[in-house]
C-alpha cells in the first residue's frame, strides 16, 4: 500500500532511522512530519555512519524525494550544516523539499529552552536544549516565524522587530533585529531552492500511486497529548499526526509500522517502570551503545514493557511491528518482559494507566523468558524466535522485521530462512 507511517513505539531512539533507510530503498518519497533537531537518526551503511537530525534518512538514496513537513521545526543553521556535511561525503541533497509552513527555531528559543530547564532544577524535563518546546509554543501562540517568512526580507524584519521587543527582555544578551535578519537571510539563500508546497507534492505522489513513507521522530510515549506528560516533547509523534504534519487527509494512510527496541531506553527525566536497577542496566547500555545521537547523554535502559507497547499499538493504530536490536539481548541467560503493572492499591492491569499517579507508581510484573546466549549472525535460534513470537502474540500484531545488528543489512523478516534457523 502506498502510504506507510513509521512511528516510534517507545520513548524514541527505537532504531527508526535504520528501518526507514531500509524501506526507503523501495520508496519514492520519504517525509518527516514533526519534531526538529531534537531527533537523531543513526544509519550505518557499509561501515560508514551517518547521523541525521533534520533530513529524512531517504536522502542517502539518490532519486528519493525527502520532505520536511509543515509539522516540523527547523533550526536553519543546523540544517545548513547537515546539508554541507552530506555534500562533503558525496551525498546529493537535491531531493530535499521543505515546507514553507514549517516553523523556524530562533536563537531565543534555544536560550529559553536552556533557561527554563535551569529554572526547573530538579523538576526539569531533560530536554535536548535545541529550542523545541519554545518554538512550538510560539507556533501555538501565533507568534512563530515560518520558513516562508525567512524568504521574505520585508516580512522577516517586521517579524523580528515585533518578536524581539518582547524576547529581548528575557535574553542575557539582547539580539539586534537587523543583525539577526542578515544572519537568517544567509541561511534563507541556502534553503530557498528546497522550499516547496510539500502538501501538494505528497498528494500528487499518492495520486500517481507512488510509495510514500511518513517518518515520525521521537516516540509515542514522548507525544505531547498521549505521552508521559510533562516529560514529553512538544509535538505529536503518533501516527495520526502524520496527516496533519504533512497536509494530507487521514484516509490517505494505508499502514502504520511501529518500531520498538527488544528492550526499552529513555533519555531525559520521567517515570520508567521497567528501568533496570543494577549492573544489567550498564550492560545493556554498553552492548547497545545507548548514548544519545543528539546530546551524547547516557540513555536509561530497561526491559521490554508490553503494557506500554500495547498502548502504542492502540494510539497509533499500528498494523505491524519492527523489533530492533534483538542482538543486544544475546548476552543474557534470562530475559524479563513486563506483561502487566501492579498499581499502588495492589491491583494488576495490562492497560497503560490513564492517570499519571498510577503510572508514576506502577511496578512491573515480569514473565521471564529464556535467553539464547549466542550471536544472531546466522539467523534466529529457537529461543530468540520464541521471544519475538511472545511479543507479537501479546500484542496481537505481526512482527515483520527483526533487527539483529547495527548495519542496514542486519534485518530479518519472517519469510527468510534466517528467521527459522534450527
Ligand atoms: P525536547 O524534545 O528537546 O523538548 O525534549 C523533551 C523530551 O523528549 C526529553 O526527555 C528528551 O530527552 C526527549 N527527546 C526529544 N527528542 C528525542 C529523541 O529523538 N529521542 C529520544 N528522546 C528524545
Determine the CATH number of domain 104-191: 1.10.300.10
Instruction: Kindly list the domain boundaries of the chain, sorted by start residue.
Output: 3-99+195-257, 104-191, 259-420
Angle CA 382–327–367, to nearest 5: 60
Once rounded to an integer, what is the mean pLDDT over residues 314-343? Answer: 98
Topology (CATH level 3) of domain 259-420: Adenylosuccinate Synthetase; Chain A, domain 3 (3.90.170)
368 Cα: distance to centroid of ligand 1 (angstroms)? 30
Q: Crossing angle, helix 107-120 and helix 132-140, to 10 degrees? A: 110
375 Cα: distance to centroid of ligand 1 (angstroms)? 32
Answer for the pair 258, 242: CB distance below 8 angstroms, yes or no.
Answer: no
Closest among 261, 211, 243, 241 to 24, alpha carbons compared: 211
249-253, long-range: CB < 8 A, 24+ apart: 252/3, 252/203, 252/206, 253/3, 253/4, 253/5, 253/214
Closest among 316, 333, 330, 338 to 264, alpha carbons compared: 338
Residue 422 has a pLDDT of: 63
Q: Is 13 among the residues known to form the active site? A: yes
Q: Please list every protein residue whose CB sits less than 6 Å from any atom of ligand 1.
A: 11-13, 38-40, 125-128, 130, 132-133, 217-218, 222, 231, 233-234, 267-268
Q: How confident is the model at residue 50 (pLDDT cuts 50, 70, 90)?
A: confident
Q: How confident is the model at residue 282 (pLDDT cuts 50, 70, 90)?
A: very high
Percent of the chain with pLDDT over 70: 100
167-195 residues labelled b (16+ CB within 10 A) or e (exposed): beeeeeeebebeebbeebbebbeebeebb
Ligand 1 atom closest to the Cα of residue 128 is 3
pLDDT tens-place string over residues 126-175: 999 999 999 999 999 999 999 999 999 999 999 999 999 999 988 888 99
276-281, long-range: CB < 8 A, 24+ apart: 276/301, 276/302, 276/303, 280/332
pLDDT tens-place string over residues 107-130: 999 999 999 999 999 889 999 999
Closest among 151, 239, 135, 134 to 192, alpha carbons compared: 151
Ligand 1 atom closest to the Cα of residue 295 is 12
15: left (phi over 0), alpha (psi -120 to 50) or beta: left
Q: Is 41 among the residues known to form the active site? A: yes
Which of the following CATH numbers is that of domain 3-99+195-257: 3.90.650.10, 3.40.440.10, 3.30.365.10, 3.40.50.11810?
3.40.440.10
d(CA 394, CA 168): 53
Pocket test for ligand 1, best of 57, 127, 288 (most atoms within 8 A of CB): 127
Amino acid at each position: 500500500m502506498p502510504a506507510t507511517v513509521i512511528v516510534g513505539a517507545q520513548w524514541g531512539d527505537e532504531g527508526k532511522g535504520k528501518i526507514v533507510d531500509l524501506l526507503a530503498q523501495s520508496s519514492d518519497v520519504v517525509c518527516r512530519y514533526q519534531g526538529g533537531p531534537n531527533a537523531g537518526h543513526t544509519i550505518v551503511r557499509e561501515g560508514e555512519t551517518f547521523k541525521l537530525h533534520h533530513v529524512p534518512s531517504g536522502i542517502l538514496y539518490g532519486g528519493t524525494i525527502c520532505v520536511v513537513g509543515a509539522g516540523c521545526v527547523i533550526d536553519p543553521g543546523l540544517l545548513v550544516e547537515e546539508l554541507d556535511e552530506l555534500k562533503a561525503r558525496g551525498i546529493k541533497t537535491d531531493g530535499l523539499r521543505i515546507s514553507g509552513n514549517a516553523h523556524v527555531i530562533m536563537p531565543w528559543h534555544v536560550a529559553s529552552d536552556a533557561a527554563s530547564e535551569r529554572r526547573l532544577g530538579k523538576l526539569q524535563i531533560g530536554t535536548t536544549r535545541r529550542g523545541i518546546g519554545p518554538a512550538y509554543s510560539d507556533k501555538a501562540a501565533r507568534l512563530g516565524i515560518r520558513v516562508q517568512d525567512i524568504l521574505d526580507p520585508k516580512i522577516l524584519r517586521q517579524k523580528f522587530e515585533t518578536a524581539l521587543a518582547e524576547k529581548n527582555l528575557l535574553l542575557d544578551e539582547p539580539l539586534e533585529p537587523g543583525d539577526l535578519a542578515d544572519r537568517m537571510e544567509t541561511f534563507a539563500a541556502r534553503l530557498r531552492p528546497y522550499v516547496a508546497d510539500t502538501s501538494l507534492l505528497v498528494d500528487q505522489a499518492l495520486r500517481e500511486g507512488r510509495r510514500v513513507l511518513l517518518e515520525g521522530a521521537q516516540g509515542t510515549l514522548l507525544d505531547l497529548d498521549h505521552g508521559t506528560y510533562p516529560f514529553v516533547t512538544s509535538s505529536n509523534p503518533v501516527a495520526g499526526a502524520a496527516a496533519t504534519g504533512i497536509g494530507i487527509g487521514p484516509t490517505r494512510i494505508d499502514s502504520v509500522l511501529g518500531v520498538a527496541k527488544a528492550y526499552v531506553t529513555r533519555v531525559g527525566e520521567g517515570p520508567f517502570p521497567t528501568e533496570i536497577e543494577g549492573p544489567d542496566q550498564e550492560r545493556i547500555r554498553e552492548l547497545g551503545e545507548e548514548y544519545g545521537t543528539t546530546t551524547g547523554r547516557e540513555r536509561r535502559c530497561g526491559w521490554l514493557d508490553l503494557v506500554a507497547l500495547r498502548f502504542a499499538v492502540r494510539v497509533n493504530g499500528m498494523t505491524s511491528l519492527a523489533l530492533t536490536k534483538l542482538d543486544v539481548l544475546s548476552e543474557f541467560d534470562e530475559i524479563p518482559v513486563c506483561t502487566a503493572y501492579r498499581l499502588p492499591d495492589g491491583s494488576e492491569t495490562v492497560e497503560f494507566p490513564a492517570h499519571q499517579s498510577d503510572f508514576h507508581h506502577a511496578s512491573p510484573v515480569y514473565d521471564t523468558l529464556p535467553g539464547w546466549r549466542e550471536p544472531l549472525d546466522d539467523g534466529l535460534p529457537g529461543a530468540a524466535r520464541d521471544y519475538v513470537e511472545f511479543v507479537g502474540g501479546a500484542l496481537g500484531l505481526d512482527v515483520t522485521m527483526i533487527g539483529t545488528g547495527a548495519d542496514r543489512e542486519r534485518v530479518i523478516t519472517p519469510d527468510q530462512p534466517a528467521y527459522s534457523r534450527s
